[in-house]
Every structure is written in C-alpha cells, then in structure tokens.
C-alpha cells in the first residue's frame, strides 16, 4: 500500500485520496472509481491571465488535508476534511496583488478548459424538485443547475430548476454508479448564479459557480463548500442525508412562529377574474392580464364572488387580493378606479372574520411607478451602465430592483408600512410573488458584498420578512420555496400553480418540500382545472393549507390562445364537496406541531397530533385510496367521501360508545344503518357528500 494513498470508509462507499496525484477517487459497488475528482480549484478571471502551478500537500493530520498552490493571481488553499460518512472540499483564494475580479469558479479542474475536468462513470442522476427530475446520463452532455434562477431562459440547462413556478430545491444531486447512489451538494447559500452547477459531458465532470462581474477579491475568500457522501441504494435516502446534515450543522433551522389563522383555508379571486374574462372577451385571443384586471379586479366582482362563497357555505378564513389592487408595480397604493376604498374593504372583510393578504412583487418596478421615478438609482445596472429591465404582461417595462442599495430597502420599508400598518391599509399579510425574477450575477450592483445570486435572494427575502414582522408581528408572509435554508424568510411555502395539467402535481410538490423538511405548504391552484380541483382539495386539507383561486367557474382544458383553459360553470355537486372539505379542514386545522407524512407514489397522506389526548394519532388522513378524508378531534372523526364506498375509519386508542351518523347540510343528524365497530375501526357504507349529506361523523368517548 502506497503511503500516498489515504483510504476512507464512507458507509456504503469508499474514497481514496492520492496525495501525490492530488486526486479524490470515489467508489460505490465497483472496483473502478465512479468519480476521479481533481483536487483543484480553477478561477476564471475578468481580464486577467492566470497560470496554474502544481499543488503540494502542505499539511495532513489524517482528518484535514491542505494543499497549496498559486495561479499567479491568487495564492490558493485546497481543503479536504474527512468525517464519518462524508468528505468536505473547499477552496480559499488569496489575491497576491490588488483585487482579482473572478468570473467563474471551477471545482475539479486544473484550468478553465473542459479537457482538464475530472472523470466520472455515473449512469443516472436525480434532483429533488416538484417535477422530480431524474434521467439516465447521456454520453454527450447533461447540465444540472439548482437554485433560484433569474428571469432569463437558460438554454444550456436541460434540467434547470424553475423556482418561480415550482419550489427551490436544496443544492444537492444524487448520482448512480451501478446499484449505489453518491450525493454531491453544497453547504451554503452561495453568491453565484446557481447553488450547484454540475456538468457531465463526454465522461468528464465539473462543478461551476458563475459570479458574473460581481466577485472582486481584495482579501481571502472561501468558495462554496462541496460535500461528497454515500447515499446507499436509494436516491431519496441520498437526498435525506443531505437535508439532515443541513439541520445537524445548524445551516437550516425549523420554522418556529405559527398563528392560528395561517391554517386557512385561503381564497383568492384571481382565477375567478381570469375565467370571467374568458367568457366575456370578444375574441378567442387573450388580450392580456392588464385588460382582465381592469375589468374584474373590482369591488363589484369581489362582492359577487364572496357572496357566491357565502351562498354555498364555503368557509374560507384568508382572502388574497392578488395582482391588480395597486396602481402599478412600484406604486403600491390602491387603484381607486378599480377598488374605491381598499382600506374600508379590508376592514369590512376583517369584520366578517376574514384575514386579508395583498399581492406584492418586491424585485421589480414599472418605468412609470412612484418608486422608480423618485429613485431611478434603485435599478440594477447592466455592464454598460443602463438600467436592467424585463418586459411583463403586454410589454410592460419593469426595472429590476437592487436590494443591495439602501435606498431600495428604505423604499421597501415604506411599502410594507403602507400595506400592513394600522395607519395604512392594515392588511394581515402578503403574498410575495415573482421571487424568481430577481437580478442575475451578470448585472452591476450598488454593493455586491451585500449579496448576489442565491445570497441576494435570501438576503432580500429575509429583509422583507424581518421588516414586515416589525410592522405587524402576526402577519402572514406567503412565498414560493421549499429550500430548508429559506425556512425563516416566510411563513407558508407556496407550492404554486399546477400548470402541467398533472393530477398528481400538488402532492409531488408538497412531497418535495416535506422531504426538505420545509414548513407547511400552501397548495396554490390559480389555474383551477377541473381535473384535480375536487381530488386535490381532498388531499390538500391533509398535507397543507388548501387554497382556492376560482369558485364560480373552472378551467376544463388548456388550448393555445385560450389562456389557462376554456371555462365552464362549476356544478352544485362540486361546490357542495368543496364546502364539505373546508368545513372538515376547520375541525382539525394544520399547525407546526403535527407530524406529517406524504407518499405520492403509494398515494398515502396523513398528519398526526403530537400532544393532547390524541397524541400519536391522526389529525387528518385520506381513506380508501383517496376516495374519502377524515379529520379527528377528541369527540369525533369527521368524514367526507367523494364516492359511494364502504369505509373502515380507524378509532383512537381507548375510544368507546361509538356511534356513526350522517350529517345533512341543514345540520340534522341521522344514524347510519348497519354501522359497526370491527376491531379498532368503525365500518359503514358512506355516500358521496355532494348532495344532502354534508359529512359523516364517527362519535366516540375517550
């Protein structure tokens, strides 16, 4: 055995560190390495030429190895730290003369060229995200990027993670070699464009971190820490190991605050506007969201929708005023042409026992907005000094805002006070949207040290969260993410619109957030298709906070030029089922203390109490292959069925004097004939709860 080889057991895999060749070889179930990773960190500079010098082993105590070298611009230290089950790897760069403007960081390469990349023999990869990406690795190229990407469409990435439409995944990928999986992830929120950018091409592997033009090293800088670990035979176990480490190391922390009203249900009349517009517009072409809002984001249409909810006894607790209540992005004042007196309307809804959230997109402002006209310096700059912008809706110009600028943050404070304070509109919270449309690292910031890339998104969202809580500590911040490192930047993880027309998309997204150990999910359904509205609401009340974006009409299918589905009038039967589900939800609302379980493959969903008489038993669970749902309190199990089907409803331990009754929509109770207790279950014939029967109750004494 060569004294230059250090062999390490990674619990299901093994590693060899060759201190002479300066290489890390990772093995799973084959004698050949699945990854021969070069212990090198290559920096690509702006306008500077570098010349790599060979690394040398500076020190080793068997657990921590340090290799040193230089590229003529920076002195470099490569650190390798060996733990029980994993290996961490990172680079520290020290400029040798003046500032070193870094464009990109390449781990595992002797130089920025592709030819020098590390070798791999991986066959498949898997990324945890709601679309559950995984594929065999082609011989040519696959590029895996994770994180909050900017507004640009990234053509180089077949599997980029779209944070705005789905959720933010943690920065890890599981890679298969033979029958075993290896995990590679990063252990920070980086200031690069992506949290992890893995390219596998022609048998070569590299990890890149793109810093655009904003990383100017004028002192020692520690680049993102990479962790390599064995995942075993299960790709999901691989992801869980990484997430567990984030919590064990204190990088991720559980959400702590919870207010009762956050459990919803939520109603937003955005899709009701959309489907009303579908019916009323004079052509089969969508004229645009601006036209839709002008017609229907109004007092009159809101009252029409809320009266409809009352008429059908659909008991929501939170209402969202979505895009359209304000004059324009960056002028966060009510548009009195559409909403005559928003403050009074909010007060009226609150008087009815509702809580009100306002839509807020913090990362951009219209060209003609108050905020931008007062301070055009709030815009992020392009390299040529011009303000960076995107076009939204019907070509509306929106400038990307620079949260590294204190003027931008002060403007945001004023907006938050206007929306949330008692002296302002006195809303109960915010729906933060379009968080993916943040500036990218190729643009110029006022103070890039405050944060760019992933770190900018985190810092801006944390700033908004902290400032909103100063105005109103109990306010609800609802936003899009499932990354455990973002847990304390908002209160509800909005798993966002199921535009794929996939009946299982909601639980796949909720499952991804659950695996990440993120907070409680809001299952935003603003497209509101008929294919999953009823079934999704049945499951939503178990694994998250249900939200309803259309009540009067529904989208039946997507067609090019027809927006988000040709609309039709919702049936009384569907309305009755939604009413039953929401009443059930309020019997046992979700909260942070409950244990949650989601299995989208076997279609099993439940949550359990962790305190009280029902500790360790269900708070809510689906039944009979998701044909029914039950919610429990200390007096009864409340059951809603979407089919005529026999049910076996599990009883809490010690339950006695069991009686099963059908509850009508008028509140009358009628015993269910033939119901009996078999073992620890109440067995009876249920009926679809879309007519006279509102629910079934299995009453007991504990």
Per-residue pLDDT reduced to its tens digit, 460-505: 999 999 999 999 999 999 998 788 898 889 999 887 755 566 677 7
Report yes or no on 590 lying in a domain. Answer: no
CB 550 within 8 A of CB 272: yes
The domain boundary, picked from 220, 248, 276, lies at 248
Closest of 638, 605, 643 to residue 627, by C-alpha: 643
Domain that holds residue 648: 604-701
Per residue in 563-598, pLDDT (tens digit) is 566 788 999 999 999 999 999 999 999 999 999 999
Contacts of residue 622, Cβ cutoff 8 Å, sequence gap at least 6: 538, 539, 542, 603, 604, 605, 606, 628, 629
* Domain co-membership, 161 together with 275: no
Euclidean distance between the first and the last CA atom of the chain, given in angstroms as a whole number = 68
CATH number at residue 693: 2.60.40
pLDDT digits (tens, 9 = 90+) for 404-421: 999 999 999 999 999 999
Q: Is the pLDDT of residue 447 over 90?
A: yes
* Statement: residue 130 has pLDDT above 70: no
Least confident of 43-47, 412-416, 606-610: 43-47
Q: Say whether both 234 and 279 belong to one domain.
A: no
In this structure, are 94 and 182 located in the same domain?
A: yes
Instruction: Say if residues 372 and 303 touch (Cβ distance below 8 Å).
Output: no
Q: What is the mean pLDDT of residues 348-355?
A: 98
| Predicted local distance difference test score (pLDDT) of residue 508 | 83
Q: How many domains does the chain have?
A: 3
Give the CATH number, domain containing residue 557. 3.20.20.80
36 in Cβ contact with 94 (< 8 Å): no
Same domain, 550 and 667: no
- Same-domain pairing of 167 and 313: no
Distances (CA, A) of 265 to 302, 466, 512, 582, 619: 17, 25, 22, 7, 16
| Average pLDDT for the chain | 90
Higher pLDDT, 565 or 656: 656
Phi then psi for residue 402, to 5 deg, are -100, 95
Q: What is the CATH number of the domain that holds 51?
A: 2.70.98
- CA-atom Rg of the chain in angstroms: 27
Whether residue 552 sits in one domain with residue 620? no
The predicted-structure confidence for 136-174, as pLDDT tens digits, reads as follows 998 888 888 877 554 444 444 444 444 333 455 788 999
Domain limit, last residue, from 516, 548, 570: 570
């Amino acid at each position: 055995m060569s004294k230059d080889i250090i062999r390490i057991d990674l619990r299901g895999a093994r590693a060899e560190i060759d201190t002479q060749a300066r290489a890390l070889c990772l093995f799973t179930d084959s004698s050949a390495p699945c990854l021969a990773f070069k212990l090198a960190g290559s920096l690509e500079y702006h306008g500077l030429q570098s010349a790599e010098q060979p690394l040398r082993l500076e020190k080793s105590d068997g657990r921590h190895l340090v290799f040193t070298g230089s590229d003529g611009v920076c002195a470099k230290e490569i650190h390798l730290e060996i733990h029980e089950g994993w290996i961490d790897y990172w680079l520290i760069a020290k400029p040798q003369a003046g500032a070193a403007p870094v464009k990109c960081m390449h781990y595992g390469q002797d130089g920025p060229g592709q030819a020098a990349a590390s070798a791999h023999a991986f066959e498949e990869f898997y990324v945890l995200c709601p679309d559950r990406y995984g594929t065999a690795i082609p011989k040519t190229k696959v590029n895996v990027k994770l994180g909050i990407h900017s507004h640009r469409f990234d053509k180089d990435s077949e599997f980029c993670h779209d944070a705005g439409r789905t959720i933010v995944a943690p920065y890890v990928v599981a890679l298969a070699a033979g029958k075993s999986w290896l995990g590679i992830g990063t252990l920070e929120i980086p200031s690069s464009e992506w949290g992890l950018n893995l390219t596998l091409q022609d048998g070569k592997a590299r990890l890149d971190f793109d810093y655009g033009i904003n990383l100017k090293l004028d002192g020692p800088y520690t680049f993102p820490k990479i962790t390599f670990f064995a995942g075993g035979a299960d790709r999901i176990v691989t992801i869980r190991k990484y997430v567990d480490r984030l919590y064990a190391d204190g990088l991720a922390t559980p959400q702590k605050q919870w207010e009762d009203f956050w459990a919803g249900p939520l109603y937003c009349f955005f899709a009701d506007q959309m489907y009303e517009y579908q019916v009323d517009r004079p052509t089969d072409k969508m004229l645009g969201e601006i036209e839709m809002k002008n017609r229907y984001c109004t007092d009159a249409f809101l009252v029409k929708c809320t009266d409809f909810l009352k008429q059908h006894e659909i008991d929501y607790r939170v209402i969202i005023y979505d895009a359209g209540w304000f004059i324009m992005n960056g002028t966060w004042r009510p548009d009195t042409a559409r909403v005559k007196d928003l403050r009074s309307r909010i007060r009226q809804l609150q008087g009815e026992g509702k809580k009100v959230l306002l839509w807020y997109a913090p990362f951009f402002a219209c060209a003609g907005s108050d905020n931008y006209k007062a301070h055009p310096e709030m815009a992020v700059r392009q390299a040529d000094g011009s303000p960076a912008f995107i076009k939204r809706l019907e070509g509306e110009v929106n400038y990307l805002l620079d949260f590294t600028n204190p003027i931008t943050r002060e403007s945001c404070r004023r907006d938050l006070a206007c929306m949330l304070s008692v002296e302002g509109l006195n809303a109960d919270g915010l729906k933060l949207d379009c968080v993916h449309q943040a500036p990218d690292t190729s643009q110029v910031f006022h103070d890039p040290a405050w944060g760019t890339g992933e770190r900018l998104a985190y810092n801006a969202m944390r700033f908004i969260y902290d400032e909103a809580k100063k105005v109103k500590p109990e306010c609800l911040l609802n936003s899009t993410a499932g990354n455990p490192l973002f847990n304390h930047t908002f209160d509800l993880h909005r798993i966002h619109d199921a535009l794929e027309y996939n009946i299982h998309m909601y639980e796949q997204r909720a499952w991804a957030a659950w695996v990440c150990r993120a907070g409680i999910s809001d299952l935003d359904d603003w497209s509101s298709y008929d294919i999953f509205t009823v079934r999704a609401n049945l499951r939503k009340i178990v694994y998250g906070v249900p939200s309803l974006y259309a009540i009067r009409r529904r989208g039946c299918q997507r067609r090019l030029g027809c927006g988000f589905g040709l609309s039709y009038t919702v049936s009384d039967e569907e309305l009755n089922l939604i009413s039953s589900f929401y009443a059930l939800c309020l019997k046992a609302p979700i909260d942070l203390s409950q244990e949650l379980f989601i299995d989208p493959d076997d279609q099993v969903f439940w949550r359990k109490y962790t305190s009280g008489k029902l500790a360790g038993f269900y708070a809510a669970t689906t039944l009979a292959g998701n044909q029914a749902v039950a919610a429990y309190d200390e007096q009864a199990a409340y059951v809603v069925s979407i089919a005529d089907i026999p049910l076996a409803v599990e009883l809490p331990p010690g339950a006695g004097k069991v009686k099963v009754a059908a509850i009508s929509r008028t509140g009358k109770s009628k015993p269910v004939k033939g119901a009996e207790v078999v073992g620890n279950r109440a067995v009876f014939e249920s009926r679809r709860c879309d007519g006279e029967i509102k629910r079934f109750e299995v009453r007991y004494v504990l």
